[in-house]
Amino acid sequence: MNTRPLALVTGASRGIGAAVARALAPTHDLLLGGRDADALSALAAALPGARAWAVELTDPDALAAAVAGIDRLDVLVHSAGVGMLGTVEETPADTWRRQFDVNVVAVAELTRLLLPALRAAGGDVVLINSGSGLTARAGWGSYAASKFALRAFGDALRAEEPGLRVVSVHPGRVDTDMQRDVVAHEGGEYDASRYLRPDSVAAAVLAGVTASPDAHLTEIIMRPTR
């Protein structure tokens, strides 16, 4: 009988999500969430007990169908997200809607659908947030607003579901494809050594979900050392 706990990681095809999946793989069976079915299948082939879980998170019908049959879930890691930058003057309504749809609404809906499975396991919900969920800067308005909302969602879920542990992880800049896009937008030169590694963020996630039963790491704030 398989007794390994089950974890679902969204955004698992690359970056932080893939690093979290690799960190959890030695102890958890995995559902690897994302839209790139080929990348998810390749990662699943490299991780024992993992399988691809390709779904468009912003499609409510597809999401409801994808979670059918998940009756117990030990860990839910929300790593999928988008980051579109621009000043308030430059940012149209469609950008605001897209960022909130992916970064907040999809997170809330997936969590809502999986609450019975999470309650059955007394599970952990991990929200990969951002330093922008704590402080908003010029040019980051719509992205930061979505991350502030994600932080509020985590606070509300934590208060409403005392049987679950809800961990908000707020990393500073991380060496990912999205970070490369950000630096290009800013007109800077990319230097990966200046940023956190995805594996470092994954280690923080692992600390949150493997903490002793008497401990609840509600917020983890990380910054690069450089």
Model pLDDT for residues 67-121, shown as the tens digit of each residue: 999 999 999 999 999 999 999 999 999 999 999 999 999 999 999 999 999 999 9
Q: What are phi and psi of 204, to 5 degrees?
A: -70, -40
Q: Which two tokens stand for residue 189?
A: 């030169």
As a whole number, mean pLDDT of residues 193-203 equals 92
Tell me, yes or no, whether 109 lies in a domain. Answer: yes
157, part of any domain:
yes
**Domain annotation covers residue 1:** no
Q: What are phi and psi of 88, to 5 degrees?
A: -60, -40
Is pLDDT of 20 > 70? yes
**CA 108 to CA 102: how far, in whole Å?**
10
Query: Given a cut of 70, is residue 194 above it in pLDDT?
Result: yes
**Residue 183 clears pLDDT 90, i.e. is over it:** no
- Indicate the number of domains in the chain: 1
Please report which confidence band the pLDDT of residue 175 belongs to, taking 50, 70 and 90 as the band edges.
confident
Q: What CA–CA distance (Å, rounded) separates 147 from 155?
A: 12
Residue 194 inside a domain? The answer is yes
Q: Do 133 and 81 touch, CB atoms closer than 8 A? A: no
Residue 27 lies in a domain: yes
Which pLDDT score is estimated for 192?
A: 79
Residue 104: which CATH number? 3.40.50.720
The whole domain housing 139 covers 6-222
**Per-residue pLDDT, 2:** 58
Report the percent of the chain where pLDDT is more than 90.
Answer: 87
- Phi, psi angles (nearest 5°) of residue 26: -65, -25
Region 40-48: mean pLDDT is 96
**Phi, psi of 52, deg, nearest 5:** -70, 145
Catalytic member of 53, 140, 143, 148: 143
Within 10 Å of residue 80's Cβ, how many Cβ atoms?
Answer: 24
Specify if 98 maps to a domain: yes
**How far is C-alpha 43 from the chain's CA centre?**
17
Is 143 catalytic? The answer is yes
- Average pLDDT in the 26-47 region? 96
pTM for this predicted structure = 0.94
pLDDT at residue 1 is higher than 80: no
pLDDT digits (tens, 9 = 90+) for 111-164: 999 999 999 999 999 999 999 999 999 999 999 999 999 999 999 999 999 999
* Alpha carbon distance 175, 172 (integer Å): 10
**Taking all residues of the chain, what is their mean pLDDT, rounded to a whole number?**
94
Transcribe the chain into DSSP letters: -----EEEETTTTSHHHHHHHHHHTTT-EEEEEES-HHHHHHHHHHSTTEEEEE--TT-HHHHHHHHTT----SEEEE-------B-TTT--HHHHHHHHIIIIIHHHHHHHHHHHHHHHHT-EEEEE--GGGT---TTBHHHHHHHHHHHHHHHHHHHH-TTSEEEEEEE--BSSHHHHHHHHHHT----GGGSB-HHHHHHHHHHHHHS-TT----EEEE----
Q: Is residue 138 included in any domain, yes or no? A: yes
Lowest mean pLDDT among 1-15, 26-40, 135-149: 1-15
pLDDT at residue 104, rounded to an integer: 98
